Amino acid sequence: MIDDHKDVSYDSRKGKYRAYIFVNKKRKYLGYFTDVEDAVQARKDAELEYGSHRTTSRMKDLSDMDFGDLKVIRLSDKRGANGTRLWECRCKCGEVIYVLGASLRAGYYKSCGCNREEKRDIGAREHEKTDRVDGTRKTALKAKLHKGNKSGHKGVRWNESRQKWTAHIGFKGKQISLGYFSEKEDAIKARKRAEEKYFDPILNSDTEYKG
């Protein structure tokens, strides 16, 4: 405990102040704070917020404050677990969410979650841009061996009707037949030659390949 501040302590490992509160005899952590004043205020806010029948007159007003992409509108009548009053917040995307004040002050909420989705979508688009060369995805060329493959080699299988090994390769949405072989090793060699011809120029190129 820090001086006379109840349920506020200093975490030497993180180099920050930690605040918590007991709710129904269970300790609930409110977050880590650089300044002790913020930890103390979070503890005070939580004490009032978790006291469902207590006045909110002494609670720090977060109205119109910004927390990342969230702007606090007002203290709502909505309550979370254990009767907690939640702050109504509007995200930059227009979505309205309800958040515990202590969570806002601790930095746990900075958006409605749209930032994560936006970053994920941007990452997916960037990956697809670098992964695709001349309409072909590099990752598709590196795909693992299908579990139903019995030859142990991609693009090589036994043709029962011809009683021979057949080799093929898929490229730009087309299946290219590489022939029939009496020996499995010859089919494997044909497949490897085709990979060198079709796959290697794309896999080894950082720019768009024109085949």
pLDDT computed for residue 54 by the predictor: 42
Any domain includes 122: no
pLDDT in tens, 11-64: 888 888 888 888 777 888 888 888 888 888 888 877 766 654 444 445 678 999
Structurally, how many domains does the chain consist of?
A: 2
Residue 209 placed within a domain:
no
Q: How far is CA 100 from CA 42, 160, 197, 202, in A?
A: 10, 67, 60, 52
Please write the tens of the pLDDT for every residue from 76-98. 988 876 567 889 999 999 999 99
Q: Letter for the amino acid at 96?
A: V
In a domain, 211, yes or no: no
pLDDT at site 206: 54
In terms of domains, do 13 and 59 share one? yes
Q: Do residues 65 and 99 share a domain?
A: yes
The verdict on 84 and 148 lying in the same domain is: no
- Determine the Cα angle at 197 with ends 195 and 203, to 5°: 65
How confident is the model over 183-195, as pLDDT tens digits?
999 999 999 999 8
Q: Dihedral (C-alpha) 48, 49, 51, 55: value to the nearest 10 degrees?
A: 60
* Domain limits for position 47: 8-115
Judge whether 3 lies within some domain: no
Are residues 22 and 73 located together in one domain of the fold?
yes
CATH number at residue 178: 3.30.730.10
Rg (CA), the chain: 31
Q: What pLDDT is recorded for position 55? A: 41
If asked whether residues 134 and 194 sit together in one domain, one would say yes
Q: Is residue 65 part of a domain?
A: yes
136 CB-near residues (< 8 Å, 6+ apart): 171, 172, 202, 209
- Give yes or no: residues 17 and 90 share one domain: yes
Q: How far is residue 140's CA from residue 134's CA, in Å, rounded to a whole number? A: 13
Is the residue at 44 inside a domain?
yes
Measured CA to CA, the distance from residue 40 to residue 202 in angstroms comes to: 59
Which residue, of 84, 115, 146, is where some domain finishes?
115
135 three-state secondary structure: coil
Residues 109, 133 within the same domain: no
Does one domain contain both 36 and 88?
Answer: yes
Closest CA to 57 of 33, 80, 29, 85: 85
Residues 71 and 152 in one domain: no
Sign of torsion, CA 119 120 124 125?
A: negative
- Determine the straight-line distance between the first and last CA of the chain, rounded to whole angstroms: 70
Look up residue 51 and give its two tokens.
Answer: 């006291």
User: Is residue 106 located within the same domain as residue 133?
Assistant: no
Are both 107 and 66 inside the same structural domain? yes
